[in-house]
Homo-oligomer: A and B are copies of this chain.
Amino acid sequence: MSSTERQLLTIIAEAVLEQRLIDLVKRLGAKGYSIGHVRGEGATGRAALDFAGPSVRLESVMTDEVVDRVFEALAADYFPHFAVVAWVVPVRVARPERF
Give 1 or 0 for each of A66-99: 1 = CB within 8 Å of chain B CB: 0110011011000100000111111111110111
Q: Is the CB of A85 within 8 A of B36?
A: no
Q: Is the CB of B1 within 8 A of A43?
A: no
Q: Which A positions have Cβ atoms within 8 angstroms of B?
A: 1, 6, 8, 12, 26, 31-45, 55, 57, 61, 67-68, 71-72, 74-75, 79, 85-95, 97-99
Q: How distant is the Cα of A1 from the Cα of B94 in the complex, in angstroms?
A: 25
What are the 10 closest A-B residue pairs judged by CB atoms, nearest first? A34-B40, A32-B42, A31-B43, A87-B91, A1-B71, A34-B38, A36-B38, A88-B92, A87-B93, A35-B39
Q: Is the CB of A45 within 8 A of B97?
A: yes
Q: Is the CB of A57 within 8 A of B75?
A: no
CB<8 Å pairs between A and B, sample of 16 = A1-B67, A1-B88, A8-B89, A31-B43, A32-B41, A32-B42, A32-B85, A36-B36, A36-B57, A45-B95, A45-B98, A86-B93, A86-B94, A88-B92, A88-B93, A89-B89
